[in-house]
Amino acid sequence: MKDFDLKLPENLDAAIGELPAEYTREGAQVLAGGQDIVTVMKDDIEQPAALVSLQRLGLDGIEWDGDGGVTLGATVTVQALADDAGLERAFPALREAAQSIGSPQIRSQATLGGNLNQRPRCPYYRHPSVSCFKKGGSVCLAEFGFNKYAAIFGGGPSYFSHPSDLATVLLMLGATASISGPGGERKVPLAELYVLPEESLETETVLRPDEILTSVTIPAPPAETRSSYLKFKERASYDFALAAVAVSVVLDGSGVVTDARVVLGGVAPKPWEVPAAARALIGKSMGPEAWTAAGAAAVADADPLEHNGYKVHLVKGLVFRALESLA
């Protein structure tokens, strides 16, 4: 790891002032819990001349509005999300996602903002000697190489799958991110936060290099909503998602689905909402038939590579299992 300067700003404006307007591999970057950026720097993927710490900005609050919505500060730890009793009651899927992340050591240090902004886990991207689209190169070696973990949706020209569990569940929950930059603050729905490789290769989000994601607001869920986050890890202990499903359904009194939302994780370069899966559920009774139909609809547009076709089976199964857990 190359050495760098550590900036410890006392306020948000000062922090933003330390960040560069244009991305370069050597430009200053944000440091929150450090659980991803330090690995990125150890692998020489990025070599920022400075890290700008959010440590002193007090962005670690969990604040409820009067209507059942909540705003989560960017430096709230993943462990705090997993432990918070209010979040557990209101957004059980968020808690399930937080609990599924990393390990106790990671959860106690990693932050909400860091999780949403983490970099790809593609083994080519992470390999110090490999050049690829994501590192300013001109090829995606995963496309025709080792692509067992790669995207089956939204790939091209790069085929990594986005690793964030919180992004997947927060998109399903209809959350909005607050982003501050030199021009002030803007609100970006999670559904618009992430970009595909065809839109941008140097970043995975709409954040500009001099912007900081400061918080995420989740609106109150409709009454009678049931939600779940089901993550499939190749290794049960401490692993990223091979695929994940965040799902919510609203049921009427007779068990018929009146509204639904299905978002997939680990299968695309960004959290991947599948409206067709939701449509397959609406108007149906909760049961194996509807779950199977939703699973089939979820993968209808999948476009797998040579070694990740199994994810099509897997997503079908996961959608089924996630819905089954809500019945």
Partner 1 sequence: MSRPTSGPVASDPSWGNRSDLDVLNRDIPRVDGPVKATGEAVYTHDVRLPDMLWARVLVHPVPRAEIESIDVEAASEMPGVVHIEALKEPGDAVRYLGDDAVLAVVAAETPDQAADALGAIVVKARRLAPVVTPEQALKEGAPVVSRRRKADSNVGRANERGDEAVADAALAGAVAVVERTFVVPIQHHVCLETHGHVVQPAPDNEQVTVYASTQSVGGTPRGLARTLGRDASKIRVLTPHMGGGFGSKFGPGLEGALAARVANVTGRPVHLMLTRADEFAIAGNRSGSRQKLKVGADSDGRLVGLKLEADKLGGVSGGSLPGPPYIYTVTDGAAVFSKIRSVHTATDGSRAMRAPGHPQASFAMEAAVDELGYLLGMDLVDIRIRNLESAVHHRQLRRVAEEIGWADHPNRDRPGAAVNGRAVGIGFGVSVWGPGGRSSRCDVTVRPDGSVVSATATQDLGTGARTYVAAIVAEELGLTVDMVEARIGDSDLPPSVTSGGSVTTGSSAPAIKDAAHKAREGLEALLTDVLEAPVGSYVWKDGRVSVRGDASRSLPWIAVCALLREPLLAQGEFRDFLHEGRIHGAQAAKVEVDTLTGRVKVLKMVTCQDQGLPLNRLALRSQINGGMVQALSYGLLEQRVFDEQDGFLLSDNLDLYKIAGSQEIPEMVALIDDEDERPSVCGMAEAPVIPGHSAIAGAIHNACGARLTRMPFTADNVLETLYGKI
Partner 2 sequence: MREMDPSSGEPSAISRRSFLKGATQVAAAGGIIGGAPASEQGTAVEPEVETLSGSSSMELLVNGKSRSVEVQPRTTLLHALRNQMKPPLTGTKEVCGTGSCGACTVLIDGQPAYSCLTLAVTCAGRPVTTVEGFGSADAMSDVQQSFCDKDGMMCGFCTPGFVVATHAALDRAPKATLDELKYELSGNFCRCGTYPHVFDAAQAVQKDRARGEDGR
Q: Does 6 bind partner 2 (CB under 8 A)?
A: yes
- Which residues fall within 8 angstroms of residue 85, CB to CB, at 6 or more apart? none
Dist CA 93 CA 23 (whole Å): 34
Do residues 33 and 75 lie in contact, with contact meaning Cβ atoms separated by under 8 Å?
yes
Dist CA 83 CA 159 (whole Å): 34
Residue 15 contact, options partner 2, partner 1, none, Cβ 5-8 Å cut-off depending on partner type: partner 2
Residue labelled with tokens 């960040």: 19
Q: Does 300 bind partner 2 (CB under 8 A)?
A: no
**Shortest CB 87 distance to partner 1, Å:** 24
Residue labelled with tokens 């076709």: 309
146, exposed or middle or buried, with CB in 10 Å at 0-12, 13-18, 19+? Answer: middle
Q: Does 79 bind partner 2 (CB under 8 A)?
A: yes
- Which residues fall within 8 angstroms of residue 14, CB to CB, at 6 or more apart? none
Q: Does 187 bind partner 2 (CB under 8 A)?
A: no
Question: Within 38-67, which residues bind partner 2 (CB under 8 A)?
Answer: 38-39, 41-43, 50-51, 53, 55
Of the candidates 117, 318, 106, which has an alpha carbon nearest to the alpha carbon of residue 230?
Answer: 318
Contact with partner 2 (CB under 8 A): which of 73, 102, 221, 271? 102
Q: Which residues make up the interface to partner 1 (CB under 8 A)?
A: 2, 44, 121, 123-124, 126-130, 141, 144-146, 148, 232, 234-239, 242, 304, 307-310, 312-314, 316-318, 320-321
Residue 68 contact, options partner 1, partner 2, none, Cβ 5-8 Å cut-off depending on partner type: none
**Shortest CB 76 distance to partner 1, Å:** 25
Residue 91 or 153 with smaller CB distance to partner 1: 153
Dist CA 83 CA 120 (whole Å): 27
**Shortest CB 184 distance to partner 2, Å:** 11
DSSP H or E stretch at residue 277:
helix 275-281
Residue 304 contact, options partner 1, partner 2, none, Cβ 5-8 Å cut-off depending on partner type: partner 1
Using CB under 8 A, list all residues that contact partner 2: 1-18, 31, 34-35, 38-39, 41-43, 50-51, 53, 55, 79, 102-106, 108-109, 236-238
